Protein backbone atom coordinates (compact mmCIF):
# COMPACT_ATOMS: atom_id res chain seq x y z
CA UNK A 1 0.00 0.00 0.00
CA UNK A 2 1.64 3.29 -1.00
CA UNK A 3 0.06 5.45 1.70
CA UNK A 4 -0.92 4.81 5.27
CA UNK A 5 -3.42 6.93 7.14
CA UNK A 6 -2.37 7.97 10.62
CA UNK A 7 -5.76 8.31 12.21
CA UNK A 8 -5.09 7.87 15.90
CA UNK A 9 -1.91 9.80 16.40
CA UNK A 10 -1.21 10.75 19.98
CA UNK A 11 1.78 12.86 20.91
CA UNK A 12 4.38 11.03 23.04
CA UNK A 13 3.41 13.06 26.12
CA UNK A 14 -0.03 11.42 26.08
CA UNK A 15 1.27 7.87 26.28
CA UNK A 16 1.28 6.39 29.75
CA UNK A 17 4.00 3.95 28.73
CA UNK A 18 7.06 5.77 27.29
CA UNK A 19 8.35 2.51 25.77
CA UNK A 20 5.14 2.16 23.78
CA UNK A 21 5.54 5.77 22.54
CA UNK A 22 9.12 5.01 21.41
CA UNK A 23 8.03 1.81 19.67
CA UNK A 24 5.26 3.67 17.85
CA UNK A 25 7.65 6.44 16.68
CA UNK A 26 10.13 3.83 15.49
CA UNK A 27 7.43 2.08 13.53
CA UNK A 28 6.49 5.34 11.78
CA UNK A 29 10.17 5.85 10.83
CA UNK A 30 10.33 2.26 9.55
CA UNK A 31 7.25 2.71 7.41
CA UNK A 32 8.58 5.90 5.89
CA UNK A 33 12.01 4.43 5.26
CA UNK A 34 10.44 1.43 3.54
CA UNK A 35 8.70 3.80 1.09
CA UNK A 36 5.36 4.44 2.81
CA UNK A 37 3.60 7.79 2.74
CA UNK A 38 2.17 8.72 6.13
CA UNK A 39 -1.02 10.68 5.61
CA UNK A 40 -3.13 12.77 8.01
CA UNK A 41 -6.56 14.22 7.21
CA UNK A 42 -5.44 17.52 8.65
CA UNK A 43 -2.15 19.01 9.82
CA UNK A 44 -1.23 17.81 13.32
CA UNK A 45 -0.52 21.43 14.30
CA UNK A 46 -2.23 24.79 14.04
CA UNK A 47 -2.51 26.32 10.59
CA UNK A 48 -4.78 29.33 10.85
CA UNK A 49 -7.51 30.16 8.35
CA UNK A 50 -6.23 33.74 8.06
CA UNK A 51 -2.72 32.50 7.17
CA UNK A 52 -4.21 30.19 4.58
CA UNK A 53 -6.25 33.04 3.08
CA UNK A 54 -3.14 35.21 2.93
CA UNK A 55 -1.13 32.48 1.13
CA UNK A 56 -3.94 31.85 -1.36
CA UNK A 57 -3.57 35.48 -2.45
CA UNK A 58 0.22 35.32 -2.99
CA UNK A 59 1.99 35.16 -6.30
CA UNK A 60 5.29 33.71 -7.38
CA UNK A 61 7.92 35.50 -9.44
CA UNK A 62 7.63 34.62 -13.15
CA UNK A 63 11.40 34.21 -13.31
CA UNK A 64 12.04 30.60 -14.39
CA UNK A 65 14.86 30.16 -11.86
CA UNK A 66 12.19 29.91 -9.16
CA UNK A 67 10.23 26.68 -9.42
CA UNK A 68 8.57 27.44 -6.07
CA UNK A 69 8.74 30.12 -3.44
CA UNK A 70 11.41 28.99 -1.01
CA UNK A 71 12.11 29.77 2.62
CA UNK A 72 15.48 29.12 4.25
CA UNK A 73 14.95 28.64 7.97
CA UNK A 74 18.58 29.11 8.96
CA UNK A 75 18.84 32.58 7.43
CA UNK A 76 15.12 33.45 7.57
CA UNK A 77 15.18 34.27 3.82
CA UNK A 78 12.21 34.15 1.47
CA UNK A 79 12.93 33.81 -2.27
CA UNK A 80 10.78 33.91 -5.37
CA UNK A 81 7.80 35.78 -3.91
CA UNK A 82 6.16 38.83 -5.47
CA UNK A 83 4.57 40.72 -2.61
CA UNK A 84 2.64 44.00 -2.77
CA UNK A 85 4.27 45.69 0.22
CA UNK A 86 6.95 45.31 2.90
CA UNK A 87 4.20 44.30 5.37
CA UNK A 88 3.15 41.50 3.02
CA UNK A 89 6.75 40.28 2.72
CA UNK A 90 7.06 40.18 6.53
CA UNK A 91 3.75 38.38 6.94
CA UNK A 92 4.66 35.87 4.24
CA UNK A 93 8.02 35.22 5.90
CA UNK A 94 6.31 34.85 9.27
CA UNK A 95 3.89 32.23 7.91
CA UNK A 96 6.73 30.24 6.35
CA UNK A 97 8.76 30.53 9.56
CA UNK A 98 5.80 29.25 11.59
CA UNK A 99 5.20 26.32 9.24
CA UNK A 100 8.87 25.45 9.38
CA UNK A 101 8.95 25.60 13.19
CA UNK A 102 5.71 23.67 13.62
CA UNK A 103 6.74 20.97 11.14
CA UNK A 104 10.10 20.66 12.88
CA UNK A 105 8.61 20.38 16.36
CA UNK A 106 6.16 17.81 15.05
CA UNK A 107 8.84 15.70 13.29
CA UNK A 108 11.02 15.80 16.41
CA UNK A 109 8.26 14.13 18.43
CA UNK A 110 6.40 12.07 15.83
CA UNK A 111 9.68 10.65 14.47
CA UNK A 112 11.57 10.89 17.76
CA UNK A 113 14.39 8.48 16.68
CA UNK A 114 15.55 11.27 14.30
CA UNK A 115 15.49 14.07 16.87
CA UNK A 116 18.90 15.65 17.41
CA UNK A 117 20.23 14.11 14.19
CA UNK A 118 17.96 15.41 11.45
CA UNK A 119 19.11 18.43 9.46
CA UNK A 120 16.75 21.25 8.63
CA UNK A 121 16.62 22.06 4.92
CA UNK A 122 14.42 24.56 3.02
CA UNK A 123 10.66 25.01 3.13
CA UNK A 124 8.61 25.92 0.08
CA UNK A 125 5.26 27.28 -0.98
CA UNK A 126 3.85 25.99 -4.30
CA UNK A 127 1.18 28.36 -5.60
CA UNK A 128 1.27 27.37 -9.29
CA UNK A 129 -1.15 24.89 -10.89
CA UNK A 130 0.93 21.80 -11.67
CA UNK A 131 -1.24 20.48 -14.50
CA UNK A 132 0.20 21.51 -17.88
CA UNK A 133 2.92 23.58 -16.21
CA UNK A 134 5.38 24.82 -18.79
CA UNK A 135 8.80 23.63 -17.57
CA UNK A 136 11.81 22.07 -19.32
CA UNK A 137 11.63 18.26 -19.30
CA UNK A 138 14.07 17.58 -16.44
CA UNK A 139 12.37 20.23 -14.28
CA UNK A 140 8.86 18.94 -14.90
CA UNK A 141 6.98 17.79 -11.78
CA UNK A 142 4.42 15.70 -13.67
CA UNK A 143 6.97 13.03 -14.65
CA UNK A 144 7.81 10.35 -12.06
CA UNK A 145 11.21 10.86 -10.45
CA UNK A 146 13.15 10.59 -7.21
CA UNK A 147 14.37 13.86 -5.71
CA UNK A 148 17.99 15.01 -5.64
CA UNK A 149 19.20 18.58 -5.02
CA UNK A 150 21.86 20.04 -7.34
CA UNK A 151 22.97 22.60 -4.74
CA UNK A 152 22.63 20.55 -1.52
CA UNK A 153 24.36 17.16 -1.73
CA UNK A 154 23.29 14.81 1.09
CA UNK A 155 26.20 12.37 1.00
CA UNK A 156 23.79 9.47 1.54
CA UNK A 157 21.34 11.29 3.82
CA UNK A 158 17.68 10.92 2.88
CA UNK A 159 15.22 13.62 1.81
CA UNK A 160 12.16 13.71 4.06
CA UNK A 161 9.37 16.11 3.08
CA UNK A 162 6.37 17.28 5.06
CA UNK A 163 3.54 18.61 2.86
CA UNK A 164 0.21 20.31 3.50
CA UNK A 165 -2.36 20.86 0.75
CA UNK A 166 -3.70 24.28 1.71
CA UNK A 167 -6.02 24.44 -1.30
CA UNK A 168 -9.54 24.79 0.20
CA UNK A 169 -11.30 23.05 -2.71
CA UNK A 170 -8.99 20.89 -4.84
CA UNK A 171 -7.03 17.72 -4.27
CA UNK A 172 -3.31 17.57 -4.95
CA UNK A 173 -2.92 14.55 -7.22
CA UNK A 174 0.22 12.44 -7.17
CA UNK A 175 1.35 9.38 -8.99
CA UNK A 176 3.89 7.01 -7.42
CA UNK A 177 5.56 3.75 -8.35
CA UNK A 178 7.38 1.00 -6.45
CA UNK A 179 10.03 2.43 -4.13
CA UNK A 180 13.73 2.87 -4.79
CA UNK A 181 14.85 -0.59 -3.62
CA UNK A 182 12.55 -2.11 -6.26
CA UNK A 183 13.24 0.21 -9.18
CA UNK A 184 17.01 0.63 -8.70
CA UNK A 185 17.86 -3.02 -9.49
CA UNK A 186 15.85 -2.60 -12.71
CA UNK A 187 17.22 0.73 -13.87
CA UNK A 188 20.40 1.82 -12.03
CA UNK A 189 22.89 0.00 -14.28
CA UNK A 190 21.16 1.28 -17.39
CA UNK A 191 21.43 4.74 -15.81
CA UNK A 192 25.25 4.34 -15.82
CA UNK A 193 25.70 3.57 -12.10
CA UNK A 194 29.16 2.11 -12.69
CA UNK A 195 30.47 4.87 -14.95
CA UNK A 196 29.14 7.65 -12.72
CA UNK A 197 30.43 6.27 -9.43
CA UNK A 198 33.78 4.82 -10.58
CA UNK A 199 36.78 6.57 -9.02
CA UNK A 200 38.92 8.09 -11.80
CA UNK A 201 42.16 10.02 -11.38
CA UNK A 202 40.35 13.23 -12.35
CA UNK A 203 37.65 12.62 -9.72
CA UNK A 204 40.28 11.89 -7.06
CA UNK A 205 42.09 15.11 -7.92
CA UNK A 206 38.81 17.09 -7.84
CA UNK A 207 37.93 15.60 -4.42
CA UNK A 208 41.36 16.65 -3.13
CA UNK A 209 40.80 20.30 -4.01
CA UNK A 210 37.05 20.34 -3.22
CA UNK A 211 37.43 22.60 -0.15
CA UNK A 212 39.26 25.15 -2.30
CA UNK A 213 36.69 24.91 -5.10
CA UNK A 214 33.92 25.48 -2.57
CA UNK A 215 35.61 28.63 -1.30
CA UNK A 216 35.72 30.08 -4.83
CA UNK A 217 32.04 29.22 -5.27
CA UNK A 218 32.15 26.15 -7.53
CA UNK A 219 28.78 24.45 -6.95
CA UNK A 220 28.73 20.72 -6.28
CA UNK A 221 32.47 20.50 -5.57
CA UNK A 222 31.78 18.22 -2.61
CA UNK A 223 29.30 15.99 -4.45
CA UNK A 224 29.81 12.38 -3.39
CA UNK A 225 29.53 9.53 -5.92
CA UNK A 226 26.07 8.94 -4.40
CA UNK A 227 24.97 12.52 -5.07
CA UNK A 228 26.36 12.42 -8.62
CA UNK A 229 24.36 9.31 -9.36
CA UNK A 230 21.12 10.52 -7.74
CA UNK A 231 21.19 13.77 -9.73
CA UNK A 232 21.63 11.79 -12.91
CA UNK A 233 18.98 9.24 -11.93
CA UNK A 234 16.45 12.03 -11.35
CA UNK A 235 16.88 13.13 -14.99
CA UNK A 236 17.21 9.56 -16.31
CA UNK A 237 13.81 8.56 -14.89
CA UNK A 238 12.10 11.64 -16.32
CA UNK A 239 13.59 10.90 -19.74
CA UNK A 240 12.85 7.15 -19.72
CA UNK A 241 9.71 6.70 -21.83
CA UNK A 242 9.26 3.07 -20.88
CA UNK A 243 9.30 3.88 -17.16
CA UNK A 244 7.03 6.91 -17.60
CA UNK A 245 4.50 5.18 -19.79
CA UNK A 246 4.51 1.50 -18.85
CA UNK A 247 5.68 1.07 -15.25
CA UNK A 248 2.62 0.46 -13.00
CA UNK A 249 1.57 3.65 -11.20
CA UNK A 250 -0.53 4.37 -8.12
CA UNK A 251 -2.68 7.49 -8.15
CA UNK A 252 -2.97 9.29 -4.81
CA UNK A 253 -5.36 12.18 -4.19
CA UNK A 254 -4.46 14.38 -1.23
CA UNK A 255 -7.66 16.26 -0.25
CA UNK A 256 -7.87 19.90 0.80
CA UNK A 257 -6.18 20.47 4.17
CA UNK A 258 -4.48 17.05 4.23
CA UNK A 259 -0.94 16.56 5.43
CA UNK A 260 1.63 13.92 4.50
CA UNK A 261 5.21 12.86 5.13
CA UNK A 262 7.32 11.03 2.57
CA UNK A 263 10.91 10.25 1.63
CA UNK A 264 10.93 11.73 -1.87
CA UNK A 265 14.28 10.16 -2.77
CA UNK A 266 12.79 6.75 -1.96
CA UNK A 267 9.27 7.06 -3.32
CA UNK A 268 9.23 7.98 -7.03
CA UNK A 269 6.52 10.59 -7.46
CA UNK A 270 4.94 12.99 -9.92
CA UNK A 271 2.40 15.69 -9.17
CA UNK A 272 -0.28 15.63 -11.85
CA UNK A 273 -2.43 18.51 -10.66
CA UNK A 274 -3.05 20.84 -7.76
CA UNK A 275 -1.88 24.23 -6.56
CA UNK A 276 -1.17 25.74 -3.15
CA UNK A 277 0.93 23.31 -1.14
CA UNK A 278 3.36 24.18 1.62
CA UNK A 279 6.24 21.93 2.52
CA UNK A 280 9.28 21.57 4.81
CA UNK A 281 12.27 19.39 3.91
CA UNK A 282 14.63 17.57 6.29
CA UNK A 283 17.78 15.61 5.57
CA UNK A 284 18.02 12.44 7.64
CA UNK A 285 21.64 11.24 7.85
CA UNK A 286 22.42 7.53 7.57
CA UNK A 287 23.28 7.27 11.28
CA UNK A 288 19.76 8.38 12.23
CA UNK A 289 17.87 5.86 10.10
CA UNK A 290 16.12 2.97 11.83
CA UNK A 291 16.33 0.65 8.77
CA UNK A 292 19.32 1.84 6.74
CA UNK A 293 19.31 -1.28 4.52
CA UNK A 294 16.54 0.11 2.29
CA UNK A 295 18.13 3.56 2.01
CA UNK A 296 19.02 4.52 -1.56
CA UNK A 297 22.73 4.73 -0.74
CA UNK A 298 22.84 1.16 0.65
CA UNK A 299 20.79 -0.18 -2.26
CA UNK A 300 23.16 1.43 -4.77
CA UNK A 301 26.28 0.35 -2.86
CA UNK A 302 25.15 -3.25 -2.97
CA UNK A 303 24.40 -2.96 -6.69
CA UNK A 304 27.81 -1.53 -7.63
CA UNK A 305 29.96 -3.02 -4.86
CA UNK A 306 31.63 0.22 -3.79
CA UNK A 307 31.25 2.88 -1.12
CA UNK A 308 29.37 5.89 -2.44
CA UNK A 309 29.69 8.44 0.38
CA UNK A 310 32.59 10.87 0.67
The secondary element (H helix, E strand) that includes residue 261 is: strand 259-263
Alpha-carbon span 127 to 94, nearest angstrom: 17
Alpha-carbon span 53 to 168, nearest angstrom: 9
Window contacting ligand SIN (CB under 6 A); options: 8-16, 96-104, 184-192, 264-272: 264-272
SS3 annotation, 159-176: EEEEEEECCCCCCEEEEE
User: Is 277 among the residues that bind ligand SIN (CB under 6 A)?
Assistant: yes
Size of the site for ligand SIN (CB under 6 A): 8
User: Is 70 among the residues that bind ligand SIN (CB under 6 A)?
Assistant: no
Contact status, residue 265 vs residue 149, Cβ threshold 8 Å: no
Ranked by CB distance to ligand SIN, the top (closest) residue is 271
User: Is 126 among the residues that bind ligand SIN (CB under 6 A)?
Assistant: yes
Contact status, residue 70 vs residue 79, Cβ threshold 8 Å: yes
Nearer to ligand SIN by Cβ, of 26 and 67: the residue is 67
User: How far apart are CB 48 and ligand SIN at their closest, in Å?
Assistant: 22
Contact string (CB under 6 A) for ligand SIN, positions 165-184, x = contact: -------x------------
Q: Are strands 3-5 and 37-40 parallel, antiparallel or unpaired?
A: parallel
Nearer to ligand SIN by Cβ, of 158 and 269: the residue is 269
Greatest Cα pair distance in the chain: 58
Residues of the shown chain interacting with ligand SIN in the complex, contacts defined by CB under 6 A: 126, 141, 147, 172, 264, 269, 271, 277
Can you give the binding site for Fe ion, defined by CB under 5 A? 147
Amino acid sequence: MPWIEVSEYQSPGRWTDPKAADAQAKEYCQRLEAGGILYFRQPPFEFSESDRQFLLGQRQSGFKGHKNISYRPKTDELRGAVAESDEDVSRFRQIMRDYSKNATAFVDTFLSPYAGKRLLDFASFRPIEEQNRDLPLTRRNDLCHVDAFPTRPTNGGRILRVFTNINPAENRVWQTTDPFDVIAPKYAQDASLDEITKPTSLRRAAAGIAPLLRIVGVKGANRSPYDRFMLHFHDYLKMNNDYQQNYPKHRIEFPPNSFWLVYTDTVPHAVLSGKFAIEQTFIIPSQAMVAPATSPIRVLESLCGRTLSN
